[in-house]
Amino acid sequence: MTDTQSKIAVVTGAGSGIGRAVALELLRTGWSVALAGRRAGTLRETAALAAGAPSLVVPTDVSRPEEVAALFTATVDRFGRVDLLFNNAGTFGPGGVPVEDLPYDAWRHVVDTNLNGAFLCAQTAYRTMKEQDPRGGRIINNGSISAHTPRPHSVAYTATKHALTGLTKSLSLDGRPYRIAVGQIDIGNAATDMTRRMRSGVLQANGETAPEPMMDVADVARTVRHMAELPLEANMQFATVLATGMPYIGRG
């Protein structure tokens, strides 16, 4: 939050899942939100779910520098500044593919979306926050439990989420002189369309397939809002929110 207590956010991947849940939580609690994502139709659906709240739909492919630049230009033109970037857009890539069979194009698509897209959005947010008056803002990167521990056959997704942690640390350090606070939320088994298959069973490290516990995505959204509404003198560097019983801590 800035000294003027303005609340202007950019949320990527806002057309579904965690991005939609976070955008709606922010809109519900007084934020103005630029909704970014590849599909204009799903972004408009998100905006309609918070009818009357100040939102802006900006179709954006985060892997394209010119589209990311246009996203932030549109946000500043509409709302005057950017106080928060929730860097959320991402993809799992093809599921269940052994590393030796993963097509290079599939690898590149995951890297371009999860890592390059996150960098481009953070870089453009950084420039915006550094130049605006009052200076500063907050970036929250959406990591994953995979930023700590991989699932079988998830080499592209896991590699990008580990890299995202390095991005978070570097941005956090470099943002200090400019009142830019950067943190990361690592999420495990939030119930969304992307994670629906976990209810019926997913491959475990021991080779078995088993269903996993899930949690309400609204619990993730509330955590992101808590991180977002800290004063810029305080930063939640890393937060982990996961379904209590998922096979992560210990041996399952």
Per-residue pLDDT of the chain (252 residues; tens, 9 = 90+): 444 467 999 999 999 999 999 999 999 999 999 999 999 999 999 999 999 999 999 999 999 999 999 999 999 999 999 999 999 999 988 877 899 999 999 999 999 999 999 999 999 999 999 999 999 999 999 999 998 988 888 999 999 999 999 999 999 999 999 999 999 999 999 988 777 777 778 888 888 888 888 999 999 999 999 999 999 999 999 999 999 998 888 765
How far is residue 6's CA from residue 30's CA, in Å, rounded to a whole number? Answer: 10
Q: What is the pLDDT of residue 209?
A: 84
Q: What is the pLDDT of residue 2?
A: 42
How far is residue 193's CA from residue 209's CA, in Å, rounded to a whole number? Answer: 19
Q: How many C-beta atoms surround the C-beta of residue 138 within 10 A?
A: 28
Q: In the chain, at which residue ranges do the beta strands (DSSP E only) sit? A: 8-12, 32-37, 55-59, 84-87, 137-142, 180-188, 202-203, 209-210, 238-242
Q: What is the pLDDT of residue 197?
A: 74
Q: What is the pLDDT of residue 251?
A: 61
Q: Where exactly are the structural domains of the chain?
A: 8-242
157 is catalytic: yes
Cα 2 to Cα 29, 96, 174, 231: the distances in Å are: 16, 44, 18, 7
Scanning the structure block, which residue is given the tokens 């960098």?
Answer: 119
Whole-model pTM: value is 0.93
How far is residue 130's CA from residue 242's CA, in Å, rounded to a whole number? Answer: 33
Q: Select which of 126, 157, 178, 248 is catalytic.
A: 157
For residue 246 the two structure tokens come to 């998922």
How far is residue 34's CA from residue 60's CA, in Å, rounded to a whole number? Answer: 11
What is the CATH code of the structural domain delimited by 8-242?
3.40.50.720
